[in-house]
């Protein structure tokens, strides 16, 4: 806890430098603006609200639950042409096709996931699983991700996520495929299934847990309050979850996100996303090495206004963190599971 050391991340096959003593240094750098607390519940000018007009002229329905629609500014399109042939191995390119969708979690703009009911969160999970199955029928990779807060690049406060399906395996997916495949070959057990069992026994980095799920600050965490959400049984894909596991997932997500908000009593920013076994042509292949999981990457370090910057050494050498994962887990674990806004009421 007091001396720097490096830790190995078997999921990415790289290392992180842990320098816990650096968190004590004075800070005179950039201070972030806390997220606004006065987001209107409904705004006719907000393109994600029910009944609002989007950039392409389409009018949203008066939806009352989740709402999925094609991204008006997609990074991937299904009919992109093939790139030209390369004349040198240092200038390679490849085709990239896909679809991008947006999913609104709820019709109210001022209601984030930790403030939703369990039934509303369960509806989000069901919509995620449906999208993963539908798009995964033809695309090798379906990336579900949520950027929460302006600090993480979110341009609209309305609770929503994005779903990008691609004709290729992205870098992170390809890397996790290789490391998990290698671990199963060498140890005869899926890496993250074994890891969840170890963390459940050790308890040092557990934040919240229930019968079906475990949330830990991973041993190799890079971001200050990064967490890893893991099922206890072997599950390859989100759409493979049974009814009970979806209910318990809604519960553990709510508990984790309430703790996040309670840490600095602010709507906690993060980027999160689901990783599971590839789909499309991979549905016919043996993917037992994969274990479903979700990553949460929050940037805040010391307060609602001081964030962790991944610059300099992190960009040019390797990742570095300013407090140990055990310290971060203990702080999150000790927080109440009643949201600070609801306590105030």
Tens-digit pLDDT profile for the chain (345 aa)? 678 999 999 999 999 999 987 666 555 566 677 777 788 999 999 999 999 999 999 999 999 999 999 999 999 999 989 998 889 999 999 999 999 999 999 999 999 999 999 999 999 999 999 999 999 999 999 999 999 988 888 889 999 999 999 999 999 999 999 999 999 999 999 999 999 999 999 999 999 999 999 999 999 999 999 999 999 999 999 999 999 999 999 999 999 999 999 999 999 999 999 999 999 999 999 999 999 999 999 999 988 888 888 899 999 999 999 899 999 999 999 999 999 998 865
40-82+92-338 CATH choice from 3.50.50.60, 2.40.70.10, 3.30.428.10, 3.30.420.40: 3.30.428.10
Q: 308 labelled as ligand-binding?
A: yes
Residues 212, 290: Cα–Cα separation, whole Å: 17
CB within 8 Å of 325: residues ≥ 6 apart: 18, 205, 217, 218, 219, 220, 221
Q: 71 labelled as ligand-binding?
A: yes
Residues 255, 337: Cα–Cα separation, whole Å: 6
Q: 23 labelled as ligand-binding?
A: yes
Q: 7 labelled as ligand-binding?
A: no
Mind telling me the catalytic residues?
Answer: 160
Q: In what order do the strands lie in the sheet with 5-9?
A: 5-9, 14-18, 319-321
Q: Which helix (H) or strand (E) holds 295?
A: strand 293-297
Find out whether 212 and 233 touch, Cβ atoms under 8 Å.
yes
CB within 8 Å of 222: residues ≥ 6 apart: 9, 16, 297, 310, 319, 321
């Amino acid at each position: 806890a007091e001396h720097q050391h490096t830790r190995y991340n078997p999921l990415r096959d790289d290392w992180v430098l842990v320098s816990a003593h650096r968190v004590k240094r004075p800070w005179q750098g950039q201070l972030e603006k806390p997220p606004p607390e006065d987001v209107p519940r409904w705004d006719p000018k907000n393109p994600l609200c029910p009944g609002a007009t989007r950039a392409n002229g389409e009018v949203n329905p008066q939806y009352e639950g989740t709402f999925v629609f094609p991204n008006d500014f997609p990074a991937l399109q299904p009919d992109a042409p093939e790139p030209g042939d390369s004349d040198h191995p240092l200038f390679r390119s490849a085709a990239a096709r896909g679809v991008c969708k947006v999913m609104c979690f709820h019709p109210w703009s001022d209601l984030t996931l930790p403030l939703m009911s369990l039934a509303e969160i369960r509806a989000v999970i069901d919509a995620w699983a449906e999208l993963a199955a539908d798009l995964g029928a033809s695309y090798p990779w379906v990336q579900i991700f949520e950027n929460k807060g302006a600090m993480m690049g979110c341009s609209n406060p309305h609770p929503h996520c994005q779903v990008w399906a691609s004709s290729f395996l992205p870098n992170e997916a390809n890397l996790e495929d290789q490391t998990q495949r290698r671990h199963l070959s060498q140890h005869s057990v899926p890496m993250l299934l074994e890891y969840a069992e170890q963390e459940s026994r050790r308890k040092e980095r557990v934040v919240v847990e229930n019968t079906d799920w475990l949330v830990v600050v991973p041993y190799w965490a890079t971001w200050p309050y990064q967490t890893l959400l893991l099922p206890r049984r072997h599950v390859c894909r989100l759409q493979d979850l049974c009814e009970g596991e979806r209910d318990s997932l809604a519960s553990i997500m709510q508990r984790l996100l309430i703790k996040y908000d309670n840490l600095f009593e602010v709507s906690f920013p993060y980027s999160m996303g689901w990783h599971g076994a590839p789909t499309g042509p991979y549905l016919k292949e043996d993917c037992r090495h994969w274990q479903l999981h979700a990553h949460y990457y929050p940037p805040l370090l010391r307060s609602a206004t001081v964030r962790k910057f991944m610059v300099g050494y992190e960009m040019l050498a390797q990742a570095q963190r300013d407090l140990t994962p055990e310290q971060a887990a203990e702080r999150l674990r000790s927080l109440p599971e009643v949201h600070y806004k609801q306590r105030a009421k």
